[in-house]
Structure 1
C-alpha cells in the first residue's frame, strides 16, 4: 500500500518539477542575455534562482506543487519565450487566454519585472556590502 502511494505521488510530482524546471530554464536564458548581469559580474544562475524564488511568491497557488502554481510556471515560461515563437501574435493571444485576460498577463509580466529589479537591488547591495567589509 505504501509503495502504491509513493508511486502515485511520484507520478504527480514529476510533471510539476518539469514545469518549474522549464520556467527556470527560460529565466536562465533571459539572464544570460542581460548586459547588467555581466556588468555587475553576477552569475546568471544566482540571479535565476533569485528571480524564480521572488516571482513564485506572487504566483497563484498555495504551495510549490499546487496544480495552479504548475500552470503558472508553464505560462510564465511561455511568456518569457514569446519572442522565440514562430507566430508571436498567436502565442500572445494564447497567453491572454491561459492567464485569464490581458490584464492578468500584464500583471504576470509586472511580477516578473519587479522580481528582476528586486533581485538586482539585493544582489548589488550584497556585493557592495561585501566590498566594504573587505576594506
Structure 2
C-alpha cells in the first residue's frame, strides 16, 4: 500500500454517499409527498361524493361532504387547510367547479372535485403548480325520497 493513500477509501465513500444518497433520499421524500397528495385528493372526492349523493338535502350533504373530506385527508396526513372542495355540473371538468351547487334532485348527475396542495420538501410554497385534484362523478338515485 502506498503511504500517501492511507484512509482515502473512507473519504471517497463519504463523498459518493453524499453525492448519491442525499438526492436519492430527497427524491423518495418528494415522490411520497406527491403520492400522498394524490391519494388524499382521490379518496376525499370519492367519500365526499358518496356523502353528498346519499344526503336528504343539500345543506346536510355539504356538511357530510366536508366532514368526509377532513377524514380522508387526515388519513393521508395532509393538512386540512390545504384542501378545496367544489362541485361541477355533469360533464364539466374540475376547472369549471366552484359556482355550481348540487340540488340533489332524483337522477341528478354532478362531479365532486377536491384539490389538495402538495407540500414537497424544500420546494417553495408559493409555487402553485404543486396541487393534486381528485374528481368523482355522482349520479343520484332516481328513486330516493325527497
Q: Is the structural similarity TM-score above 0.5? A: no
Give 1 or 2: higher helix fraction: 1
Give 1 or 2: higher strand fraction: 2
Structure number with greater Rg is 2
TM value normalised by structure 1 = 0.30
